[in-house]
């Protein structure tokens, strides 16, 4: 097996059976041996959600034939892609033996879905009937910037009930990467105590 290279000589020696009438003969020819482009096996990765950094699950290309070398990825590991369909990932394989093998590149596409924004909203302490809903009860938060809309809204006076449902819809500012998210909690509204005053 010849190494890659151009104008490599091949020689042949012919020995005739009739050496009384024929002499040995030789001939030469030149041959070009081209480098091989390794074949890369890289299955299409499953979709991910925004916020998931690229890692070994997505960047897992392999070269067929067990050819020693290394992969470089673009975007590099740890990159967080914006949401979007069919985003291109590139893997470039550089063989250790650059004399006989060429550098090879492979492409795959990955879908990055929008993420649901995370809402933190702890159930508030019980209130008594007649207390309007305020910032103590309607205090949901998110690490993402955006707007909260509450149902019932601020200032509502709820009827007495052991389990009133409060709901908020969070609309993120970054609608390209996040979906609107809904969260609910339960609030206990206790019966109010009447204050009876005696007339003087």
Residue 132: band (very low, low, confident or very high) from pLDDT cuts 50, 70, 90:
very high
Beta strands 25-33 and 5-14: pairing type?
A: antiparallel
Can you tell me the distance from the alpha carbon of 1 to that of 103, in angstroms, rounded to the nearest whole number?
A: 21
In the numeric block, the tokens 């709820």 are attached to 158
Can you tell me the distance from the alpha carbon of 38 to that of 57, in angstroms, rounded to the nearest whole number?
A: 22
The residue-averaged pLDDT of 59-84 equals 96
The residue-averaged pLDDT of 146-165 equals 94
The pLDDT score that the predictor gives to residue 94 is 97
| pTM (two decimals) | 0.76
pLDDT digits (tens, 9 = 90+) for 41-60: 999 999 999 999 999 999 99
Q: Please report, for residues 30, 121, 146, 148, 154, the alpha-carbon distance to residue 180 in angstroms, rounded to integers and kept in the order given.
A: 69, 16, 9, 10, 20
Helices (H), the chain: none
């Amino acid at each position: 097996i010849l190494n890659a290279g151009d104008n490599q000589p091949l020689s042949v020696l012919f020995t005739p059976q009739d050496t009384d009438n024929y002499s040995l003969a030789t001939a030469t020819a030149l041959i070009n041996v081209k480098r091989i482009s390794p074949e890369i096996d890289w299955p299409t990765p499953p979709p991910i959600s925004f916020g998931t950094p690229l890692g070994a699950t997505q960047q897992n290309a392999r070269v067929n034939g067990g050819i020693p070398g290394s992969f470089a990825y673009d975007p590099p590991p740890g990159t967080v892609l914006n949401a979007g369909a069919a985003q291109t990932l590139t893997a470039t394989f550089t063989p250790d033996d650059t004399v006989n093998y060429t550098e090879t590149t492979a492409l795959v596409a990955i879908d990055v879905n929008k993420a649901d924004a995370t809402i933190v909203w702890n159930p508030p302490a019980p209130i008594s009937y007649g207390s309007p809903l305020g910032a103590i009860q309607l205090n949901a938060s998110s690490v993402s910037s955006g707007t909260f809309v509450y149902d019932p809204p601020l200032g509502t006076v709820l009827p007495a009930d052991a389990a009133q449902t409060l709901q908020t819809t969070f609309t993120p500012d970054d609608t390209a990467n996040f979906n609107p998210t809904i969260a609910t909690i339960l609030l206990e509204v206790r019966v109010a105590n009447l204050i009876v005053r005696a007339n003087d």
